[in-house]
Chains A and B, each alone.
Chain A
């Protein structure tokens, strides 16, 4: 290999080889790529950010001591997050915070039911007049994505129930597939979708409340 050549660590074989050689660049790559996501997942299982930090640190230490025994039967990503889940579940159970059912069953329609017609007849369940999603299309693009708006989105997500926050973070921030999220969190597809939908509905409502000026 040419000294100084840039290695493609997104290729698991290259990454694992480099980690086994104790190539610091490989470990830094892994840290930068996954540390924030690990933290976001961990916080859903434990009582406070300090505990989450510990869980993540224990995970990294387990990676360091385990990399030479890793047999590549899964991707590095899957392996990494399984270690995290083991650490988080152990601690989360201790701190009794593991409750997915509560977040799924919570009866929270995406829009206030009073925005729809009650019927009778074919109009039942359709939007009432002027009760549809309030438009925010008139926002200039740079305003919609302004730092202020992003802070509102971030706050809305932090305020979500744990499981909803974890799912929306993995799906919409980290770009995981539904299957990856179900596998990691041991969720059925239907439950994963309910959690994601509730989370997005909440963020949408917060944005609607922010942008829509109620008329005189």
Chain B
């Protein structure tokens, strides 16, 4: 029998945020100013006979409207950090705040896109996108209208009434993205969202995501193991060290979108970041 499914009580933190359009709570914060701040995050995994420090001394200020990528050697705590931010994992110590609000439990102010999509197979595409609004108590008509708007934005209008198992991987993740975007969360967390897709679909998805975010003032934290993807999408790239993860370098990516992967600057910067990652492997 599984022990995992127990629905956890809200042992830590305040009531779960389940409001719609939480981004409006922070509309007074101007673009480019700090929206979310992560201070001294430390995560220790305790098993019967050992303690593993997965993340240590991780501090980061996320600016409003930016897309910030977190890359790092495989097996480092990228996903752990993201799950802490989402509130799905309680950090051992450390504070995460959006504006003046502490994040101590999961909530709709931090929307998440999962690597394995995490869609509900018993719901149609449209019903999946509507899920968060249903939770927040958005009236049915508005809910359907907004869901359709985002389903169109990700190019799935023909599949609005399809079931999830009828879709390809790339289409599934577009549903996942629409489901997160439609809620207008303060911050969107993406956990290797294109990691389960083939290379070609991945490139298409990156282009589409660029189109969606370019004028939308969305704040996104994007975890990936692909340096190429990070450079193509982000305003800043955070390079992590090996376990225990902390920030090794933060790289600004100043170029306009859409970006040209073949340009000399792009290649040069990619090479530099790959070198940073390589240093992580040598350092041990």
Question: Do these two chains really belong together in a complex?
Answer: no
Interface residues of B (CB under 8 A from A): none
